[in-house]
Structure formats: structure tokens, C-alpha cells
Structure 1
């Protein structure tokens, strides 16, 4: 019995140490910088096209028959994954000015895009699903392009610049692809 108790105490102690250990630079980078891949398709032309393509039915292909909410489901999934990423970023430890700046930038980015997904992109998705007019859809995409996209791209670029310095400093290999 004493042996089991000792093993249990050791196990709890090890878990406690693991929980208190700071994130590795790699983990911090993955959460705060690489998770922004979730919003790389924020561009209204790109994401709008994706939503449109999810609503296309082909008369000769019965399996392409749609339920009528496909585009909305894509947006809901984007919102869910973005909110989850934001939660994880907020939990990160930021122990110095560099990591604080990266964390703040990443949080600001997600807090900027999530409302656009919930509002404008969801409106657009509903129009796609209900075969709304091209004019209405174009107006929404234009609004996103003019009112939100420049700020999002600015946040994204600033984060990538900080991320590149952080990755180099911590010997994290990254293919930026941009």
C-alpha cells in the first residue's frame, strides 16, 4: 500500500512540474504565429470563392446535391477553430518584451477577424447557400476588402516580421511561403 502511495505522490509531483514548466520557444511559436495560418485565406476573393464552391451542385452528379447550409458550415468551422486558437494564445506565457509583443499581436489579429467571420462572412455564406444575388454578395466582399482586409494584412505582416526574428533567434526552422 505504501509503495502505491509513493508512486501516486511521485506521479502527481511529475505532473505538477510538467504543468508549471514554461512553453518551449517552438510551442510558443506554433501557437502564436503558425496558428495564424487559419486566417491566411481571409482575403475576400479567396474565401468568397471557397464559400461559393461549397454550394455548387452538378445535375449529373447526385452526390453533389447540397443541404443548403454548406457555406455557413464552412464559416462556422472557421469561427470555431479561430476561437480555439485565440483561447490557446491567451494561455501562453509571455516572459519578455518579445514574446509579449508577439502574443499581443496574435491576439489582436484573431480578435479582429473573428467578428468579421461571424458577421460579414456569415451573411455572405447565407447568400451563397440561398443563391442570393451577385450584387449583394459583391457588396459584402467589397466591404470586407475595404474596411477590414487592410488592417488584417497589416496585423499579419507585423506578426510575421516579429515571428521571423523570434524563429531565427530560437533556431526554429520555418518555410514562410509568402
Structure 2
């Protein structure tokens, strides 16, 4: 076989491989739909409960002593998770079948990220600085009232798209929401 034919065959193989989407339906589902479970706390009382009773971490320099996380650390950790989810979403190739699901998930994550970076950071600061409980509750309620309707709209749409996609691809899922 001539060098030219080998080169043409190699080029054709590369084109075929790059045009094929090697991402499994399960991966699309996990990244677009399942990863959204990490942000559902803003819809109900989940995040407020988490801020009231923060997680613990190992005390610096200790192998066994734990201390509560600051609320700022809690929110910053959630921001990192959302940013990681957005990175994974951006790495997915959109297909005719997955485009709306990816775009809806991206919109939902971007929407929540902005809320965390602004309002929830302010709320975390109030907690960490010992603001009166009434102010904290009022701020939490104001955040919920301002943002929950749009969150629910995006989350419901993503859930609907996810259910359809999972059913079509025989992905076994137990739905808690929607």
C-alpha cells in the first residue's frame, strides 16, 4: 500500500472517529440531570438547614479533632461543585437529542451559581458574624421568594427532559422530585 493510501485511510479514520459521539447515554444523564441534585437545596429548606447546622471538618493540624465549617466555607464548597458541574456540562457534545437537556442543565447551574455567589454569600456572612436569627431568617426567605419560581421552572423542565431521556435509553432511575 502506498504512503498516500495509508495517509488517506488514516485521515478518513480520524474523521470518522471525531464525528462519532463516544459519550454514553448514562454519562449524558449523570452530568446533566443527576448532578443537578447537588443544587436542589435552594428550593426548600435544605440549604437553610445546612447553614443552621454546618458540616464539620478536621481541625487544622489534627488527625481526629473536628470543628464546624464556617458558613462561608459551606457556600464556597457548593460554588466549587456547581463550577465543576458547569465544566463537565461544557465538555459534553450537544446532539439533536441532548441539546435541550444540556442547555437546560447549564441554565439551571448558571442561575444557581449567581445566587450562591451573591445572596448566599451574604447570608453566610450574616451567620458567621452572628447576626440576629430574625435577620437571617428574613434574608433566607427573601432569597427563596425572589429566586424559587425560576429555579422550580428550570428544575422541572430538566426533570421532565431527564425522565424522557432515561426512559428512551433504559436508564434505571428512582425519581425523588418531579
TM-score range, shorter chain: 0.7 to 0.9
How many residue pairs align between the two structures?
A: 157
Matched residues in 2 for 1:95 and 1:44: separation? 33
**TM-score, normalising length: structure 1:** 0.78
Secondary structure of 1:26's counterpart equals: helix
Unaligned runs of 5+ in 1: 1-12, 57-62
Residues 1:111 and 2:110 aligned together: yes
The offset of 1:45, in angstroms, is: 2.3
Give yes or no for contact 2:43–2:151 (8 Å, CA) kept in 1.
no
Residues 1:32 and 2:32 aligned together: yes
- Alpha carbons of 1:136 and 1:51: their partners in 2 closer, same or farther (altered >3 Å)? same
Deviations, residues 33-71 of structure 1 (Å, cap 9, x unaligned) = 111011121235221111111289xxxxxx6765xx611
The residue correspondences of 1:24-173 to structure 2 (distance < 5 A) are: 24-43=24-43, 45-54=45-54, 66=68, 70-96=70-96, 98-173=97-172
Matched residues in 2 for 1:65 and 1:24: separation? 41
- Alpha carbons of 1:55 and 1:37: their partners in 2 closer, same or farther (altered >3 Å)? closer
**TM-score, normalising length: structure 2:** 0.78
Give yes or no for contact 1:31–1:89 (8 Å, CA) kept in 2.
yes
Structure with higher helix content: 1
Secondary structure of 1:172's counterpart equals: coil
Unaligned runs of 5+ in 2: 1-12, 57-64
Post-superposition, which runs of at least 4 consecutive aligned residues in structure 1 deviate over 6 A? none
